[in-house]
Structure 1
């Protein structure tokens, strides 16, 4: 397995991975598939902010990706990011999420970020477990704030404070 920076050749694979979650789960609150063009725009936006976007490749295939985006745009939040991670559904439970998240968090810490805030649509026991294994602590929850697949969905927030 190889974890590396994203490249333009990864876009189709990442869109495929993400669109599975849009179509079949409440993990993403998006309801329409993301095009290759839209995924390209998202990657370019993250990178233009100087934030990381990484992929995990195995046997020449992208098996997952992780990135960090701004938590909020105002300058007082400049040391806080919101990480996201997506693993190919057929690869869940094989440790890829932990490897990707570990690498992403090290990059963020080394870059001087102070906090990471994970947003998790609930219930999602595997994501909660991953965040807590990585040191995140639950700090809040909005009840029934989203609506997808004819159901209300709550969102929990987990925070990781990086040690200086």
Structure 2
């Protein structure tokens, strides 16, 4: 990882190339600013931001993910963090150790410029290389751009969770998406656990 990723999106031709790399402690404030915007104005989360993590919370989360060898990435353009993405284990029980759940957040001024696409592709590549077999995401049903992006990258709709989020005075649905990695469920896993 830690390589510049060229984009072919015409909207970003006047921008410097986007670099996708592992996140660092110095990226925490920028990641929190992106996350807070999504909570307050985005379709991913509840309007209530009382549960917004503090910088130390995010540093601890990053440290925990790194100790489990789970990717926590940022996209950087011209020295600015313009998005971030990470995975967590889908479930903590050992039987689920080959499945991960991912999250992607893009800075509001860089949405529609291919940043989410680059982060998603890198997550897919890194997780497949680490031995994971399934990648799962939960996407707000109103987030048509994210749903379309995931469909382009081979994610299928695996379920609908009606009315699980309440925001802006109404109930919202969440779509569960899933994509196989490497051999998926067509072959048994290797002896060692993924990411180790």
TM-score of the aligned structures, taking structure 2 as reference length: 0.80
- Rg (Cα) greater in structure: 2
Name the SS for the 2:132 alignment partner. coil
1:73-100, CA deviations, whole angstroms, 9 ceiling, x for partnerless residues? 1110000000111110110000111011
Q: 1:16 aligns with which of 20, 33, 38?
A: 33
Please give the residue correspondences for 1:25-40 in structure 2 after superposition, counting only pairs within 5 Å. Answer: 25-29=42-46, 31-32=48-49, 33-40=52-59
Unaligned residue ranges in structure 1 (runs of 5+): none
1:17-59, CA deviations, whole angstroms, 9 ceiling, x for partnerless residues? 1100011123124721332122222222222222011111111
> What is the alpha-carbon distance in structure 2 between the residues aligned to residue 100 and residue 43 of structure 1?
16
Pair 1:152-2:171 in alignment = yes
Q: Determine which structure has the larger strand proportion and give its number.
A: 1
Q: 1:61 aligns with which of 77, 80, 83?
A: 80
Please give the residue correspondences for 1:10-159 in structure 2 after superposition, counting only pairs within 5 Å. Answer: 10-29=27-46, 31-32=48-49, 33-159=52-178
CA RMSD of aligned residues (A): 1.3
Which piece of structure 1 moves more, 21-30 or 86-95?
21-30
Aligned residues: 164
Q: Which runs of 4+ in 1 moved over 4 A?
A: none
> What is the alpha-carbon distance in structure 2 between the residues aligned to residue 146 and residue 49 of structure 1?
30
1:102-136, CA deviations, whole angstroms, 9 ceiling, x for partnerless residues? 01110000001000011011211001011111110
8 Å CA contact 1:19, 1:34 repeated in 2: no
> What is the alpha-carbon distance in structure 1 between the residues aligned to residue 93 and residue 168 of structure 2?
33
